[in-house]
Structure 1
Amino acid sequence: MIQIRPETSADSATITTINQAAFGRAGEADLVTALRQASTTISLVAELDGQLVGHILFSPVQYDQAPSHLKIWGLGPLAVLPSHQRTGIGAALVKAGIEACRQAAIQALVVLGGPEYYQRFGFWPAANWHLRCHYPVDAKFFMAQELVDGALAGLDGSISYHSAFDKV
């Protein structure tokens, strides 16, 4: 049975391995390390039969017109060991992560990823709220979700990720 739990310091090396295996490169693993060092994060792991098999990280993003009270965070990276992909582990991590963000009083989330995957979790094109990503990406891949109804209402601006994302 899969258990989703917060990351502990003892998990760091395995999280690095999971991200490297899932993405086939070190970029996302280095990103996780940089985000941990730079800011508060919500970091969850998936454990199966005593082995870590997945990881998800959420971190603060910046809205260029942000009211000081608005808390928007970004989802990513999401990584599952290749041998355990397409088994529901990623979905379990996303669902648990969204709930952890809600409990942490985060008002909205953004993600850069495939709409066919993330829409089932309540993410929709960020353009629906007049939000743009500061990276030059097709708008359909930049999505948002309100965790508090109306949190994104009336916004019109750009979302910037932590500079550590620039290296991925």
Structure 2
Amino acid sequence: MLIRVEIGIDAPGIDSLLRRTFNGDGEADLVRELREDGLITLGVVATDDEGHVVGYVAFSPVSVEGEELQWVGLAPLAVDESYRGQGLARQMVYEGLDSLNEFGYAAVVTLGEPALYSRFGFERAAQYDLRCRWPGTEEAFMVHRLADDALNGVHGLVEYSDHFNRF
């Protein structure tokens, strides 16, 4: 198993993984469009011994109240069914968080299962008066600070790129 930054040759494997994992085209189309528009800040893949993509996590820019604050959104996160329960998602997310921290990013947000993401150090964003545009997501919208002062004086609407509004 190898966990690394995605490269161009990984695109078909990522696409296939996302279509299998999410039983449809939405996430695969989202990632393809983000990639085509240069909006993937960081993509992390896990490959098996034959080089097949068995895990993927993408990070893309977000703004807070219209300001660019060196924040990114984590989405999507996918692990091939045969590799689940082995800590692969945790390893990919941590690899991504470490790299983003090294690159100087301040915070990461995600919309996902609180029980999963809290294990990765994410907290409910609502407790910091942060929200996303989708109603009913207060429990699932989460934030992870990379910089100690990332949340100081920051509150309001966190917006993903328009690509996320189409799916």
State how far apart, in whole Å, the 1-side matches of 2:66 and 2:126 are: 15
Match of 1:23 in 2: 22
**TM-score of the pair, normalised by structure 2:** 0.94
Q: Which runs of 5+ in 1 are unaligned?
A: none
What is the SS of the residue equivalent to 2:119? helix
Superposed CA offset, 1:86-135 (max 9, x none)? 22111111111111111111100000001100001110011122111111
Match of 1:163 in 2: 162
Matches within 5 A, 1:137-156: 137-156=136-155
RMSD, matched Cα: 1.3
Q: Please list every run of at least 4 consecutive aligned residues from structure 1 whose deviation after the TM superposition is greater than 3 angstroms.
A: none
Match of 1:37 in 2: 36
What is the SS of the residue equivalent to 1:21? helix
Equivalent residue letter for 1:87: Q
Q: Note if contact 1:57-1:76 (Cα within 8 Å) is conserved in structure 2.
A: yes
Q: Note if contact 1:129-1:154 (Cα within 8 Å) is conserved in structure 2.
A: no
Q: Which runs of 5+ in 2 are unaligned?
A: none
Superposed CA offset, 1:4-61 (max 9, x none)? 1111111111100000111111100001011112224200100121222111100001
Match of 1:92 in 2: 91
Query: What count of residue pairs does the alignment treat as equivalent?
Result: 165
Match of 1:55 in 2: 56
State how far apart, in whole Å, the 1-side matches of 2:136 and 2:12 are: 31
State how far apart, in whole Å, the 2-side matches of 1:40 and 1:165 are: 13
